[in-house]
Amino acid sequence: MPTPPKWSVVLGAGAEHRPLYDGAELERTQAGPAINVRYQDISFASVGEGLGVNLLRGEHYRAGLSLCYDLGRLVSSDVTHLRGLGDIERAPAMKAFASYALSKSFPLVVRGDVRQILGGADGMLADLDAYLPLPGSSRRLIMFAGASFTYADHRYMQKEFGVTPAQSIASGYQVYDAHAGADAAGLGVSATGFVTEHWLINVDAAVNRLLGSARDSPITQKTEQHAIALSVAYTW
């Protein structure tokens, strides 16, 4: 078996089309860099996963810590629906994560993480995902499909979906106390095609349905949320 390289680097650019914020009806497209740098199976830095380290690793499992970020929510993004609610500032977050691949014959990967936002929404979220490679995958075309579930504590849900008495007066929304519990569940697919040995194109698509207090909040305009991302990158 060949020795894996010490460094794995993917650099490129991409665009993502998604709702302005969780529960929004308005959507936006944003462009940005696609960065994924890994040192052996020890540490990584990427736009999606943040800066982290695998503290435990084996043939079928990974577990570690990372520093990531939360994008927050700005009133200026959707004054019509967010006026009077106040900004939720962007903030860093600490994440603990673990994943386990069942076997080569049944390559289901189960992954979970817990992240604490430090400022901004100032709450805790936990994600549970499971995904499998799709039939037709090969070395030049890698495809996955999976499901996800997100839980959030009361502090996060109240910041994102609750309405305090002061916010009610300023916005016109009724007072709403969001409780801890299920935040969202979703399905997603991912496909990466290698155009050449080093150039690749990646497409990700997902649909999420808000649950619990997120679904019932007076702030929420749309409970089914769609997102699609496209990136072109060079790897070596």
The string of DSSP letters for 142-202 reads: EEEEEEEEEEE-HHHHHHHH-B-HHHHHHH-PPPB---SEEEEEEEEEEEEEESSSSEEEE
Compute the average pLDDT of residues 33-45.
96
What dihedral do alpha carbons 83, 87, 88, 91 form, nearest 10°? 160
**pLDDT one-digit tens code per residue, 166-210:** 999 999 999 999 999 999 999 999 999 999 999 999 999 999 999
**pLDDT one-digit tens code per residue, 127-156:** 999 999 999 999 999 999 999 999 999 999
CB atoms within 10 A of CB 58: 11
Question: What pLDDT score was predicted for residue 3?
Answer: 59
Homologous superfamily (CATH) of 7-235 is monomeric porin ompg (2.40.160.40)
Question: What pLDDT score was predicted for residue 105?
Answer: 87
